[in-house]
Chain A
């Protein structure tokens, strides 16, 4: 085998491998290079996040406008503090925005849905969303149903 042919084919092989890695990063894992350009964070306290994950969707009216950046627990109140990273391009959220945790489909992933408010003021970076509703836990619902049926 000629040395030149080997050099060219090895070069093409390495190039293909690197391109494949870039494809995996950009197209498959969805890393966009301009993601950090304009985001702001708002925080929300929930009584139960029940399986919400980091990087879960944050949506309003069904449109994805951000991601869950971090989930912490506040031991004092026994609540979860969720840090939401909102895309700056969509503009500010009104101060009385509500947040609820919903499930995509029956077995799907949890996500945060934001309910629009009517206030004039908007939430600044690092503000808390006051009106929140935690995830519905199926076991609790069934438990309630069973006790109610038993009582009647």
Chain B
């Protein structure tokens, strides 16, 4: 019994300690970047996490937009309200699905890659040898990845939203024969620049911070074994997906909570 309690306490302390390490790492790394020589490192990471995620983002966006339009259209046409399809599609995408699905895909595609990469660097002691050479791995390895995530996610979200709305338009207007005027006008009448587009982008920045933070820290803090890397990669995807969904609820509550 005593031993159980002791291990419980030990584990909690471990968690709190790793949160502390993660926070210190995050702050030091974010402070570390703004220097001219690091631009090429940042570019390479934006390429890795942003450009390479583009295909999966575009494909998922198109299918999600198409399927949303299909569902909206079949349900709304029973009330003769097909004109609301465009509006519903835009609001759902801009406010919720755009940032959230991009966040989840980003965690799966870019987050896991970051963790595995940094984990392997740690396992093969590249990070320690960098320190030996007087190169700060936080600045050289961690900071560019954090910044690349924060820069790429809002752009990916915007692209996701546009492609999804296009996909929805293809289904609702071109295929099911909806009225293009109603589709666009319903959207433009109701969608607000800040309330819908802006707050959605804000969400995506928040998700980017959390996902890249978790991914980088899990890699940096991994057990230096093959098994450890696998565990850390899994943990990145699981923890950041759950965090994205949980944070989305909290953000929605605080952004749209007064419902007026």
Contacts and interface: CB of A to CB of B under 8 A. Distances in A.
Partners in one complex: yes
Interface of A: 1, 3, 6-7, 9-10, 13-14, 16-18, 20-21, 23-25, 27-31, 55, 57, 105-109
A108 B79 CA distance: 11
Contacts, number: 86
B154 interface: yes
Contact of A20 (B162, B188, B193): B162
B158 A21 contact: yes
Interface of B: 40, 43-44, 46-47, 50-51, 54, 79-81, 84, 90, 94, 151-152, 154-156, 158-159, 161-162, 165, 184, 187-193, 196-197, 201
A29 B187 CA distance: 7
B206 to A, nearest CB: 17
Interface of B is mostly: helix
B50 A55 contact: no
A9 B47 contact: yes
B50 to A, nearest CB: 5
B46 A24 contact: no
A58 to B, nearest CB: 12
Contacts of A106: 79
Given A13-B54, A17-B156, A27-B184, 20 more contacts: A3-B43, A10-B43, A10-B50, A13-B50, A14-B46, A14-B155, A20-B161, A20-B162, A21-B158, A24-B161, A24-B197, A27-B188, A28-B187, A29-B187, A29-B191, A29-B192, A29-B196, A105-B80, A107-B81, A109-B189
A107 B187 contact: no
18 contacts: A7-B43, A10-B46, A14-B151, A17-B158, A20-B155, A21-B197, A24-B158, A24-B161, A25-B197, A28-B165, A28-B187, A29-B188, A29-B191, A29-B196, A29-B197, A30-B187, A31-B193, A108-B84
